[in-house]
Every structure is written in C-alpha cells, then in structure tokens.
Amino acid sequence: MNNKVFVGSLSFNTNNQGLSDYFAQVGTVTSANVIMDKMTGKSKGFGFVEFSSDAEAQASVDKLNNTELDGRTIFVDIARPSEKREGGNGGGNRGFSRDNRN
C-alpha cells in the first residue's frame, strides 16, 4: 500500500498548514503539500498528504473523501506513483548553433 494520499478540488486559499491541520484529525501527518504553479505562484487546486502509516492514509480516504475544506468539497484517494515523463531537454535549439553559421 501507500502512506500518501492525493487531495483534489482544493480551494485556491488552502495552504500547506491548513491541509496538514485538516488531515491531522485522522492520523499523524508527516508532510502536506499544496501544489503551486511555478509561473504564477498560485495553487493548482490539488496536493498531497503523507502519513506515518498506510492505515492512517486509508483512514483519511474513508473519512475525509467528499468532505468540505475551506468551502470546497475535496476528493481524497491513495496517491499513485508518478509516471516517468519522456523528453527531458525541453525543446531548446534542437542541435542548431547560431555560432556555426556558414
């Protein structure tokens, strides 16, 4: 199993501390992270909460899924491992160098 949960449909006003405090009612929270947009610095509306045990993570799904946090009904589920992304170089100049013009 997994001791980490995905939390969706978060209010844009929810922060890490608020997320941690809310989920502490079902177990020992070891980390809580609201995912932020790198460009705007604003919440993307989802996050992750990690517990000290798998049982606490499952309890959070059972007890907190479809409950209200900061005025929004949240979605809670066991987090899946992230998938490997292809690419890696981000585009760039695709091998063309402006310094090597002939």
Residues counted in the chain: 102
Alpha-carbon distances, residue 9 vs 28, 36, 66, 88, 94 (angstroms): 22, 14, 10, 29, 38
Residue type, 10: L
Domains and CATH numbers, the chain: 4-78 (3.30.70.330)
Average pLDDT, the chain: 89
Q: Is 54 helix (H, G, I), strand (E, B) or coil?
A: helix
Q: Which residue is it, tokens 């007890």?
A: 63
Distance from first CA to last CA of the chain, Å, rounded?
Answer: 59
Q: How far apart are alpha carbons 17 and 96 in whole angstroms?
A: 47
Residue 14 clears pLDDT 60, i.e. is over it: yes
Q: Does 95 have pLDDT greater than 70? A: no
